[in-house]
Every structure is written in C-alpha cells, then in structure tokens.
Amino acid sequence: MAVGRPGCVEDHAAEVRLPFIPDLCEHVQKPHEGVRGRSVRAGQGREGVKSPEGQSVAVHEEQFFLFQGTHILCVQIVSYLRYNNPLSPFMHKSAGKKRKQGGTPSMTEKARVRFAPSPTGALHIGGGHTALFNWLWARHTGGSFILRIEDTDRARSTKEFEDTIMSGLEWLGLDWDEGPDRGGSYGPYRQSERLDLYHDTADRLVKEGKAYREGDAVLFRVPPGIALRFDDVVYGSIEMMSDTLKDVVMIKSDGMPTYNYAVVVDDHFMEITHVIRGEDHISNTPKQLLLYDALEWERPAFGHLPMILGTDKKKLSKRQGATSVYEYRDMGYMPDSMFNFLALLGWSAGEENEIFSRNEAVEIFELSRVTKRPAVFDMDKLNFINQEHIRRMDPFDRLALVEPFWREMNLPVDAHSREYLASSLDVLAGRGQTAKQVAGYSDYFLSFEPVKERYDGSDVKKEQLPILRRFYGELFSLPEWKASDLETFTREWSEREGVKMKEIAMPFRMALTGMKVSPGIFEVAEQLGREESRRRIAHFGFTG
C-alpha cells in the first residue's frame, strides 16, 4: 500500500484507498497485545527503520507510519485519516490549524535597563538575581545597565549599604554603565537628589486635577472603571480593574516621593526601555500604569522575574541560611559560579550546557525565555556548579581564590613559591566544592604540622613495621622521584612481596597527608618532594 510516502498529511491521506480504513480501524478498536509494542517511533534515524519482521517501514514526515504488508500501524494515523480524509464522512470539521504566534521579540533594539535597590541592607540573593537578569539583558542587546539608588526611606537608607550593594554587584561581575558613582547623562542616580523632578511632575498632575494635596502629601486620584492591562514579557497579559486600587500616594508628608511614583518618574526620564524586577512587583504595576497614562508618557516594557524560594518553598529568609551574596563569597563560592547558578534560576539556555561563563550567557540570554514559577535555591546544585568552575580555572586564579582561606588557617603560604602552591592545587584535581574545602583538603602541601595533629601513626601494627620499613627503604632509593616511577615500583614490589597495594599505600597516605582521603598518593609524594616525604615517613618511624 502506498501509505507512508513522505509528504504532507493531506497528500498522504488522498493516497489512502478508503477500503483499507475500516480494516485498520477495527484493528485499533480492538488493540491486542503488541500493537503498540511493535510500533517503531520515527525518531532521528527514520531512514532505515525496520519492523520486527524485518520489513522496511515507511515513515511519514509527521511520524505517522505503518509496516508494509501488515496491519500494524499507529493509532494516530487511523484516527487522523478517519477524520481528516476529504472522502471520509467523518470529516465534519475543518481541522483548521492555528498559526503559531512568532515568539521571540526582536532583540536588535538596545535595551536601557536598571537595577534599583534601596540601600537598607546588604545585596541579597534575590537582588543579585534581579540585577543579574537586568545586566544580561543589557549586555545581550548591547544596551545600558543603570544603577539607581532608591533612598527615599530616610530612616533606613545608609551610605554604607549603598557601598556594600555596589561591591556586591562588582563581586558578581555586574558592571553598570551609569550610576551614582560614575555618573551618566541621565543623573543624578540617587532619588534623594532628584526631588525637584518629583515635585514638578506632581504639581503638574495637581494642576490638571488628576492629583490632590492632603496636608504636605500629594495623592493621585484613581479613576474608577478603568481596565489596567499590560503585556508582561515573561508573564503574558495581566489585567486589573482600577476599582480595586486606593488613591496612590505620590509625595509623602516629608516631601519624599513614594516608590510607586518615583519609579515611574525615573524610568521615564532615564528612558528605561525594560523594567525587569521581581514578581512581587506585579501587583504594583497597575498603579504605575495609571501614572504613566495620566502623565501621557510611553510605558516601558515590563518583565517580571520569578521569586527565589528557600528549601521550605517560602521566600528566602535568614532562617534558611545565607541570604547575602557576601556570605557565599566568604564560604568559598566564586563569583563565576554564583553568576552561573543564579542565571539558571528562572532561565535556561535550552537543553545541554548548564555550566557557562558570563560571555556565553550574554550571548544566549533571552528575556522571553524566563520561567514563571518560583525557583528554590538549591545548595547542592550551587556546590556542583562551583566545583566545576574551580576545576576549570586557571591554576593561578585558583590559587588566588584559595589563598585567603589558607591564611585564615594560619598556614605558611609565604614559605612556598607561587608555582609550588598552584601546582599543589592541580594535584588536587578538582577535589572540593568550595575554595574553603579546597584549602582544607590541601593543607599538608603547605605544612607538616596539621598532619601531625590529626595522625600519630599508632594505627600501624607492630608486625607491619618490618614490611613498611623494607618497602620505604627501597622506595626512597629510587633514582627518580616521579609519580609514575613510584607507582610502577610500588606495584611491582607489592606483587613480588605478596603484599596488597592497599597495605602499603594507606600508611603512605596517612603519613604524608594525615588523611585517609587524598589525591593519588604518588602524585602527592612527587609534589611534596623526596626529602619532605622522607621526613614525614621518618617522623612516624616507618623507615629507619
């Protein structure tokens, strides 16, 4: 039969001779064991697909297929042909296909986006996440990333927090093009320095009768019966009736603007194109829409980001551990991994490649691909990502990362050359998920002291000593002190003497590192050098 020739479904259907159809339908109505099982899916290599009977299988472009000479076929083709064949009496409705809406917005437009923290605390994970997505969008579109300080809360805002937020952003590698510290043509970038702008604009609204004074404050009069609708770049269409809103305060009695009013004024005058912020601002947006419309200003695009939750699925708070980005830095996470990890919360590049650099992320980032549902902050994944980044680092960068933790442990960092230290970390070969762990796993490269503190050699039984002494005696007189030679020799020796590798390698490991877990012990021995290794072995009396 002719079914199965590649082509569009309509062609296909036309070629099916109706007499076959009832036959096939019967088959499907009483599906017996195996019909489904014997189906072959048209996957990647649809070309040489064979049926279990060895007959060639005709595969349709649309994955409808059947085996020639048999009645086994996909349920789908039967139902499809039955209802869509023009000759069929079942063809009652036109299976009109809806046009797919073209999803991706053009990204040729340079975006002007901003991160607008209030300096009332350290840079938290959520803030870092928001800043990161803004930054990504700015860099992806070749636009600008602006830092604006929203310090209209006189009681809680401090300069210290402003500085600490900026250094947090720097640590994450998020550089801004305009901001209070580096200026720009849309300044000033602190709301407390833009008061005239807010007052002038408020006066205009009062004059137009759209706002009114109440004491020293100015409130916006919310008109009833207005549908406030906007298309969120990530959430889609959102609508709210103005009747559910109370009049919005624009200027507080102390003369400061409120958040909902100041953002509108600033985003307008700073010519922000995309307002990218946390999902908790969705319900603020309609109020701002009202202001934009009353002021007859063009609205920016809005893109809200999913919230980041703790393991308990509640908003991240101190109770679930570290919430500020510095705490992660101090635990030994590196900025690249933090960036990578945060970027993966609410977004993905598609399939593979979860480990990426800033530049790679910039390249492939797409605002419209951001996820809607809240994401849980998963330490396990952060650990994994951090480990991957540490592994891939340049040895000297890795050294710079680990060094502070060694110093904190009072290890004699300066007693060694940079080369020695960097290659010691290379011997570790990616062991350790944080810089802190790496430092802890590698202390024996810097000093014998911690080894002596955790190991005293007492676990070696008296009857083992003669064997060990004989072994080490020969080992230390090897002409070359290289890992490969040490290993070859040890293997041969253990074979010859009938001693298990483990029995001589473990004491060796314990004596050199004081740990029962370490990199390959011969690599460690080579890195330590013959003399230092001999000294450690001798200390425990394993040689003599």
Residues with active-site annotation: 318
Nearer to RNA, 413 or 464 (CB): 464
389 CB burial (10 A radius; 0-12, 13-18, 19+): buried
Nearer to RNA, 249 or 465 (CB): 249
Q: Which is nearer to RNA, 240 or 468 (CB)?
A: 240
Q: What is the rounded distance in angstroms from the CA atom of residue 148 to the CA atom of residue 156?
A: 17
Q: Where are the alpha helices (DSSP H) in 325-394?
A: 325-331, 335-343, 358-364, 379-392
Terminus-to-terminus CA distance in the chain, angstroms? 88
- Could you tell me if 42 and 65 are in contact, meaning their C-beta atoms sit under 8 angstroms apart? yes
Minimal distance in Å, beta carbon 420 to RNA? Answer: 20
Query: What backbone phi and psi angles, to 5 degrees, belong to 308?
Result: -105, 125
CB 525 within 8 A of CB 483: yes
Report CA-CA distances (Å) from 26 to 18, 38, 192.
13, 17, 78
What are 145's two structure tokens?
A: 């990333």
Contact 41, 76 (CB under 8 A): no
Minimum CB separation from RNA for residue 121, in Å? Answer: 10
Instruction: Kindly state the helix (H) or strand (E) to which residue 442 belongs, with its residue range.
Output: none
Nearer CB in complex with RNA: 143/286? 286
Q: How many helices (H) and strands (E) does the chain have?
A: 22, 13
DSSP letter, residue 31? P
- The residue among 381 and 413 lying less far from RNA, judged by its C-beta, is 381
Q: Computed from CA positions of residues 348, 349, 354, 359, in that sequence, does the dihedral angle turn out positive or negative?
A: negative
**Max CA separation in the chain (angstroms):** 101
- In the complex, the smallest distance separating the C-beta of residue 307 from RNA, rounded to whole angstroms, is 5
DSSP 8-state secondary structure symbol assigned to residue 306: P
Three-state SS at 307: coil
The smaller minimum CB distance to RNA, of residues 462 and 517, is found at: 517
Residues ≥6 apart with Cβ < 8 Å to 358: 173, 336, 339
CB of 80 to RNA, least distance (A): 4
CB of 62 to RNA, least distance (A): 6
Q: How far is the CB of 409 from RNA (least distance, A)?
A: 20
The CB density around residue 499, as the number of other CB atoms within 10 Å, is 17
484 contacts 492 by C-beta, under 8 angstroms: no
Structure tokens at 299: 């609205």
Chain-centroid distance of CA 49 in Å reads 39
> Considering the complex, what minimum distance in angstroms separates the CB of residue 243 from RNA?
9
Please give the Cα distance from 540 to 341 (Å, whole number).
Answer: 45
Could you tell me the smallest distance in angstroms from the CB atom of residue 415 to RNA?
Answer: 26
Nearer residue to RNA within complex by CB, 178 or 487 = 487
Q: What is the closest distance, in whole angstroms, from the C-beta atom of residue 454 to RNA in the complex?
A: 15
**What's the burial of 373, exposed, middle or buried (CB within 10 Å: 0-12/13-18/19+)?**
exposed
Closer CB to RNA, residue 335 or residue 346? 346
Tokens linked to 370: 């951001």
- Closest to RNA by CB, 167 vs 242, is 242
